[in-house]
Amino acid sequence: MLTACASQPPQASDKPALARARDHTPAGDPRLHVLVNRLSWGASDSELNLALQLGPARYIAQQTASAPPAALPPAVQGQIDSLTITQKPLMALLADLDSLKQADDKQPYQKELTRLAREAASRHLLRALYSPQQLREHMSWFWFNHFNVHQHKHNIRAMLGDYEERALRPHALGRFRDLLGAATRHPAMLRYLDNDQNAANRLNENHARELLELHTLGVDAGYTQRDVQELARVLTGHGVQHSDKTPHLRRELAGFYVREGAYEFNPARHDFGDKTVLGRRIQGRGATELDEVLDTLATHPATARFVCGKIARYLLSDTPPEPLVRRMSEAFLSSQGHIGDTLNVLLGAPEFTQAEPGKFKDPMHYVISALRAAYDDKVIRNTTPIFNWLNRLGEGLYNRQTPDGYPLTADAWSSSGQMAVRFEIARAIGTHSAGLFKSEEGSQATEQAAFPQLARASYYQFTRAMLGPDTRQALDNTSSPQDWNTLYLSAPEFMYR
């Protein structure tokens, strides 16, 4: 479907290209483009064509359904299948690492941890770029950010793949309660928020506080320091165990022991006294106390408001309309926290397809949408450049040190320094293949593709009509296709979704 050749930049008067585009596909409705751009990681040709084929209502229904995973392109699936994190379960990874750690030279241990984190990042990026389940991938990043952990604490780098694969992504469109339970009990989270150190009479309230403040109710929901301390007592004993060993337990405690993979509930570390959380009396009885508290938190109206407001800010606008957030909260509560049902309210709302894109892209959205526009039809083989760009822009995967996750609003990402770096990345993507097709070993021979072709049918069909006169003029005045690409990806219109 390429309509412009590399040596000849497209012009406004490029009639044949325009005519061809119009002959073969229906005229682009900007609202469809806006819908796809907001729902997915960015409008690619194939995503636009899919939405065009299905129509908006069926496209939304397909994306929110918790259907079995649609197939990835084989070249992407092949890359994912070859990863160690795909082939080995977490316990096996930890066992390998623990034996590496015994060595005097700690470098191989550290290198392996870093390699495993990069594998997780690679998988995450490939799915964001190429998965047909765009809404699931889009929300998986959101939930990681909501239940944020930082890779550079202890051995969390080894746990990221499992955390995403088993705790977050399967529940990304499912029930919030399942997601909350899986994230709260995952070794990555227990370790990140120090709950693996939290024990009876040696309380560590870090996890308890963030569970209330960031994961469920939100900071102004009226809970107290006392609630934090009581929840910390509930959380005592929930921890991490790498080895196959089980602790020696007194007979009366042995029945309370729980073990699932690297997650362990050790009753010897648990405070079995009764607790009161948010005015509710929790009878001391072991691991299931936490389930009772999570049940309460997951269906709390404050949680519904907090989570729905955050989803609307992420997908729609820095200042989402209050009535829409209220309707989402109602759907969240009446569906017992079903995320897909809640998303249906948002995606089906007229505000979601209004023609004015008003949400400034954060770096992840910016970089992924640029690459989806550029390399929809050609599978990237090396995600290292993407990884580096995100780090340069301050939004690297797994790199947010604090549990609040990255900010989701424009003011965090639109400063002068951010814009300058963004343009440099646009140039890198627009003018050469930027290392995206090098094999991981760095051999030059396998590098394909000189630079992407962004001036093509979909540009004339959907995008050009949405560009302002200044942008059109700058594009039309450009004599080199590489500069055209750079300007297109740097245009103000490309900064918003």
Site for other proteins (CB under 8 A): how many residues?
A: 49
Reported as half-sphere exposure (CB side, CA atoms, 13 A), residue 444 has a value of: 0
Q: Of the two residues 21 and 312, which places its CB atom closer to other proteins in the complex? A: 312
Choice from 102, 417, 441, 444 touching other proteins (CB under 8 A): 417
Q: Which of residues 448-487 bind other proteins (CB under 8 A)?
A: 468, 470-471, 473-474, 477-478, 483, 486-487
Answer whether 266's CB lies under 8 Å from 258's CB. Answer: no
Comparing CB distances to other proteins, the nearer of 1 and 268 is: 268
Residue 457 tokens read as 């049918």
Q: Using CB under 8 A, which of the segments 20-28, 204-212, 294-302, 375-383 binds other proteins? A: 204-212
Nearer to other proteins, 178 or 194 (CB): 194
CA–CA dist 193, 153 (Å, integer)? 10
Minimal distance, residue 471 CB to other proteins, in Å: 5
The verdict on 427 binding other proteins (CB under 8 A) reads yes
Binding mask 336-375 for other proteins (x = CB under 8 A): ----------------------------------------
Interacting residue with other proteins among 107, 281, 350, 420 (CB under 8 A): 420
423: contact with other proteins by CB under 8 A = yes
**Rg of the chain's alpha carbons, rounded to an integer?**
24
Question: Which 221-250 residues touch other proteins, going by CB under 8 A?
Answer: 225
Point out which span in 105-113, 179-187, 199-207, 456-464 binds other proteins (CB under 8 A): 199-207
Backbone angles phi, psi at 168, to 5 degrees: -100, -60
| Rounded distance between C-alpha atoms, residue 445 and residue 124, angstroms | 26
Cα atoms in the Cβ-side hemisphere of radius 13 Å centred on 118: 14
Please report the DSSP string for 101-166 in residue order: HTSS--HHHHHHHHHHHHHHHHHHHHHHHH-S-HHHHHHHHHHHHHT---TTSTTHHHHHHHIIII
Quote the CA–CA distance of 125 and 370 in Å, as a whole number.
13
Q: Which of 50, 393, 436, 454 binds other proteins (CB under 8 A)?
A: 393
| Structural tokens at position 298 | 């997951």
- CA angle centred on 135, ends 301 and 403, rounded to 5°: 55
**Contact with other proteins (CB under 8 A) among 415, 439, 446, 448:** 415
How would you label 45-67 residue by residue, b for 16+ Cβ within 10 Å and e otherwise? bebbbbbbeeebeebbbbbbeee
Stretch that binds other proteins, among 172-180, 249-257, 322-330, 416-424 (CB under 8 A): 416-424
Q: What's the token pair of residue 489?
A: 């990806």
Query: Which residues, including other chains, have CB under 8 Å from residue 295's CB and lie 6 or more apart?
Result: 177
Site membership for other proteins, residue 202 (CB under 8 A): yes
Please report, in angstroms and rounded to a whole number, the separation of the first and last CA atoms in the chain: 24
Nearer to other proteins, 331 or 408 (CB): 408
CB of 389 to other proteins, least distance (A): 12
The C-alpha angle 471, 477, 478, rounded to 5 degrees, equals: 95
The structure tokens listed for 74 are 């084989």
**Cα torsion 377, 378, 380, 381: sign:** positive
Output the smallest distance, CB 210 to other proteins, in A. 9
- 84 Ramachandran zone, left/alpha/beta (phi>0; psi -120 to 50): alpha
CB 208 within 8 A of CB 228: yes
Orientation of helix 416-431 relative to helix 363-374, angle to 10°:
20
Of the candidates 87, 401, 439, 448, which one interacts with other proteins according to CB under 8 A?
Answer: 401
Shortest Å distance, C-beta 183 to other proteins = 19
CB of 199 or CB of 349, closer to other proteins: 199
- 416 part of the interface to other proteins, by CB under 8 A: yes
3-state helix, strand and coil shares in percent for the chain, rounded to the nearest 5:
60, 5, 35
Strands 238-240 and 263-265: antiparallel
CB nearer to other proteins: give 236 or 344.
Answer: 236
| Residue 234 in tokens | 């509930």
- The residue range among 18-26, 33-41, 278-286, 421-429 that interacts with other proteins, by the rule CB under 8 A, is 421-429
Quick one: 118 or 209, whose CB is closer to other proteins? 209
- Contact string 153-192 vs other proteins (x = CB under 8 A): ----------------------------------------
Determine the Cα–Cα distance for residues 436 and 420; give it in Å rounded to an integer: 22
Q: Is 404 in the site for other proteins (CB under 8 A)?
A: yes
Q: Is 219 in the site for other proteins (CB under 8 A)?
A: yes
199 binds other proteins (CB under 8 A): yes
* 27 part of the interface to other proteins, by CB under 8 A: no
Residue number with CB closer to other proteins (27 or 420): 420
- Cβ nearer to other proteins, comparing 53 with 225: 225
Under the rule (CB under 8 A), what is the footprint of other proteins? 194, 197-199, 201-206, 209, 213-214, 219, 225, 393-394, 401-402, 404, 407, 411-421, 423-424, 427, 468, 470-471, 473-474, 477-478, 483, 486-487, 490-492, 495
